[in-house]
Amino acid sequence: MKTYLTNQIKNIVLLGNAGSGKTTLAESMLFEGGIIDRRGDIASKNTVSDFNLIEHENESSIFSTVLYTEYNDKKINFIDVPGSDDFVGGTISGLHIADSALLLINAQNGIEVGTEIHNRWVEKFQKPLIIAINHLDHDKANYEKSLEMLNERFRGKIAGIQYPVNAGPGFNSIIDLIKMKLLKYPADGGKPEILDIPADELDRATELKAELIEKAAENDENLMELFFEKETLTEDEMRKGISVGLLNRGMYPVFCVSGKKNIGVGRLMEFISNVAPSPDQLPAPKDKSGNEIKCDPKGPAALFVFKTTIEPHIGEVNYFKVMSGEISEGMDLVNARSSKQERLSQIFAAAGKHREKLSKMVAGDIGSTVKLKSTKTGDTLGASSNINFPHTPYPEPKYRTAIRPLNESDDEKLGEALNRIHEEDPTLLIEYSKELKQIILSGQGEYHLNIVKWHLDNIYKIDTEYLTPKIPYRETITKSAQADYRHKKQSGGSGQFGEVHMLIEPFIEGAKEPETFKANGKEMKLSLRGKEEHELPWGGKLVYYNCIVGGSIDARFMPAILKGIMEKMETGPLTGSYARDIRVFVYDGKMHPVDSNEISFRLAGRNAFSQAFKNAGPKILEPIYLVEVLVPGDRMGDVMSDLQGRRAIVQGMSSEKGFEKITAKVPLAEMNKYSTSLSSITSGRAIYSMKYSEYAQVPGDVQEALLKAYEEEADEE
């Protein structure tokens, strides 16, 4: 393969709901460009994309696949991404580095929930958008309904480039409004016969072309003047106006295709090669320092790694986009994260698992390499470490589970396997929670984590089980309380003795320290001699005051008392959860000249704190998440009822682009398997996101249930 120049490269991501036909269209694009000589199909499990065993079993995309084809002396890099929201990581990484998006619409169903999800990400990344209505050969294909839904959703931005003459099982003819010709395809697709538009379609085609010309002219002042002057535009002028409209997202061109029969695919690729923007036409991306890095072959060499896979007998394969300059085989680059040098021993153009070796690539191109020593997804490699691009902005996880190996000896093996899976899928997060004593997996949905389980069972051969994840509760107090505790132990030789008197109260930011307090019916004055503020790793504060007068406790034992208190903060007195936001005043105690030591005062401090805590109006706090649900209007009531059953506090409701949006604060304890429930309630038509908001007190009945469960668990142990 030759080295393509930046202006000869088109980078596009294939989007669409599951079942919209992205993988089948990709086969036809590869075939049209001569990269393959025979089109595979999903049923035969021989497509270039979707080549993993799990994808064959599920007959759907689970991983994004990097592909390329050649057409009209242009190189089209394209990324086939999964349609399911559970695997949205592939969509986001693809959009992060692509220069435009091709959104497939299933002509049987029109706009679906996956369509809406993908388009929302397109809007977030502000990518130019081309739309293709696929499956026009299906007996339930409804082009008019699909176009109506598109016009309703994209208000004024839809620009029909083509329309089908005979959608349905006999579909073989398209009228192209730019060329003003009828494209008639043979039974097996491919190259069309180019004919004049039939008389019975001419009026409709003329009317639709006039609309297209007007929309094309609206994107350029010079074209608008020409349009007013001539009342029409030439084909080249139309193409220019559409190109400008596509680039500024003022126009979304719509094409007609059957990926399965290879009808309309070549014309779509012709449009992409001629009109879709090349990498240097888009706004220059910024590095982490805010500097614009132009996609310039003459600039400093820099590439961004957007995807990593692990292949048998090869190891890690890193996929990258050349962001600036040019790279060549054998080139040494510096990893901006680690400052370590990496050598590009080989570089490839990738078409699924098939790779073609290259000697050089220029700015804007997409490729892959192998055998990098320590480079991960999200890393930047460059001529120096001065350029460092931001990581791909993946969404917060929405589904969590605990996991453990059935054989304890597999602990280390499981950890290694999960880390490798995370390398391939950064949206899977792994937390080894000391607090919960569980390994917590967090992902985008139940299906997402079931795929992880499949890999552990079938690829890594580790028997595991999923468990209900524990909730990271917090404990705190609501009022002040006093306690004293004497630790005394004598068993031959030197003994142990330490006595600690303390007062505890809630920590409130900005609150004044008390000057007096009551203990055992007496009012006492506090003498603040020392203060330590500790930001707790799990959130909140512990403020520790030394109020000892008269030397009742030697200063050398104060750190030991603090250590004992901190131990009890780590395993709270109520449920063993972390405690937070407490002020502790140690104001008195006793020592023994021989038997007092650090362990004595550590234990005395720990037990005094525990006693005081239980008398200080203790409360359990639970994590609250801000949840946003986008739901069709006809399912609004069902979703609201379900949320209310999850102790949700609705924050607001609004409409957003054809969907109803519900914003609510919901306890994490109530979000277990919510993605599955929401899908069931709405037939897969709703989506949601969740983000940590705050800790809040649990209701009294919930606290009682938690205390009872903790006592029963302690009794069993």
Per-residue pLDDT tens digits for 670-681: 998 898 899 899
Domain 399-470 has CATH 3.30.70.870: yes
* Residue pLDDT, tens place only, 388-408: 999 999 999 999 999 999 999
Task: Name which CATH class applies to 621-702.
Answer: alpha beta
According to DSSP, the β-strands at 100-106 and 9-16 are: parallel
**Region(s) of the chain under CATH 3.30.230.10:** 475-617
pLDDT tens for each residue of 584-602: 999 999 999 888 899 999 9
Give me the amino acid identity at 332: D
Residues in the chain: 717
Give yes or no for a contact between 70 and 2, defined as CB atoms under 8 angstroms apart: no
DSSP symbol at 258: B
Span 263-272, mean pLDDT?
Answer: 96
Mean pLDDT of 684-692: 87
Encoded tokens for 673: 């398997």
Asked if pLDDT for residue 444 goes beyond 90, the answer is yes
Look at domain 475-617 and name its CATH class: alpha beta
CATH number of this structure's domain 302-382: 2.40.30.10
Nearest to 174 by CA among 246, 109, 271: 271
Residue 69 has pLDDT above 90, yes or no: yes
The pLDDT score that the predictor gives to residue 566 is: 96
- CA-based end-to-end distance of the chain: 67
Which residues of the chain form CATH 3.40.50.300?
6-281
**Residue 716 pLDDT more than 70?**
no
Task: Tell me the whole-structure pTM to 2 decimals.
Answer: 0.87
Question: Mean pLDDT across the chain, nearest whole number?
Answer: 92
* Extended beta strands in 72-168, E state: 74-80, 100-106, 129-134, 158-160, 162-164
Name 180's Cβ contacts closer than 8 Å, sequence gap at least 6.
Answer: 197, 205, 209
User: Is the pLDDT confidence value at 717 over 70?
Assistant: no
In the chain, CATH 2.40.30.10 sits at 302-382
Confidence band (pLDDT; 50, 70, 90) for 243? very high
- Using 50, 70 and 90 to split pLDDT, how confident is the model at 705? very high
Spell 413-422 as b/e; 16+ CB within 10 A means b. ebeebbebbb
Over residues 349-367, the pLDDT tens digits come to: 999 888 999 999 999 999 9
Q: How confident is the model at residue 312 (pLDDT cuts 50, 70, 90)?
A: confident
Question: Could you tell me which residues are beta bridge partners of residue 302?
Answer: 324, 382
CA distances from 338 to 323, 381, 382, 393 (A): 19, 10, 12, 20
Q: How far apart are CA 481 and CA 23, in angstroms?
A: 66
The arithmetic mean of pLDDT across residues 148-169, rounded, is 92
- Asked if residue 170 has pLDDT above 80, the reply is yes
What mean pLDDT do residues 627-652 have? 93
- Are 27 and 65 spatial neighbours (Cβ–Cβ below 8 Å)? no
Q: Are 657 and 153 in contact (CB under 8 A)?
A: yes
Architecture of domain 6-281: 3-Layer(aba) Sandwich (3.40)
Percent of the chain with pLDDT over 70: 98
- pLDDT given at position 228: 82
Cα–Cα distance, 475 to 570 (Å, whole number): 10
**Residue 257 confidence (pLDDT) above 90:** yes
Helices vs. strands in the chain: H and E counts, helices first: 16, 38
**Rounded alpha-carbon distances, angstroms, from residue 526 to 234, 502, 519, 563, 584:** 90, 11, 11, 22, 12
Pick the closest to residue 582 from 637, 503, 489 (CA basis). Answer: 503
pLDDT digits 0-9 by tens, 292-305? 999 999 999 999 99
